[in-house]
Amino acid sequence: MVTEERVWEALAEIPDPEIPPISIVDLGVVRDVTVSNGTVHVEFTPTFLGCPALEVMRDQMAARIRDLGAEPDVEVVLDDSWSTDRITPEGREKLRASGFAPPAPREAGGPQLVQLQSKAFKCPYCGSTETRLENIFGPTPCRSVRYCDSCRQPFEQFKTI
């Protein structure tokens, strides 16, 4: 008999397709799991709407649920419920350990250039805040590129959203 707990455990083993050290549960994109009559309903919110990992995540969730012997029903919820604040503390630590600076907390009024250009962002390698914005945009929609003047290492900063 599939329980919600078993489903959460199974989903927690699915790596983010673009940042494999972190799982999709760490990432906070699984909003809800309910089980009824052998069907598992998952509410899933994309990170960025243009994220190409969306389909991969959805298909992998469905496959894991089938492995548990249940029928998947993965609903993609296109509302505002995902935010980088939903990344778990474990997820933030895994990001940092893999060289991705975790996102700053979300603030009222949204991001501002002056804030992105400030020294409030820590280098994930050496911990220095002597870092500067190189590009608001990066290799995926969720990341910016920064440079650390202390250890002279470029790094990727998760955008706050």
Residues that bind another protein (CB under 8 A): 48-52, 78-83, 110-113, 116, 134-141, 145, 159, 161
Indicate the residue among 68 and 145 with the shorter CB distance to another protein. 145
146 vs 70: CA distance, rounded Å? 44
Q: How far is the CB of 134 from another protein (least distance, A)?
A: 7
37: helix, strand or coil: coil
Q: How far is the CB of 16 from another protein (least distance, A)?
A: 17
Indicate the residue among 20 and 50 with the shorter CB distance to another protein. 50
Q: How far is the CB of 27 from another protein (least distance, A)?
A: 16
Indicate the residue among 7 and 100 with the shorter CB distance to another protein. 100
49 vs 89: CA distance, rounded Å? 24
Indicate the residue among 2 and 140 with the shorter CB distance to another protein. 140
The edge-to-edge listing of strands for the beta sheet with 143-148 is 100-101, 153-158, 143-148, 131-135
Q: How far is the CB of 73 from another protein (least distance, A)?
A: 16
Q: How far is the CB of 42 from another protein (least distance, A)?
A: 18
Let me know: does 68 contact 35? Beta carbons within 8 Å.
no
Indicate the residue among 145 and 151 with the shorter CB distance to another protein. 145
CB-facing half-sphere around the CA of 50: CA atoms within 13 A = 5
23: helix, strand or coil: strand
77 vs 134: CA distance, rounded Å? 33
Residue 152: both structure tokens together: 């002279």
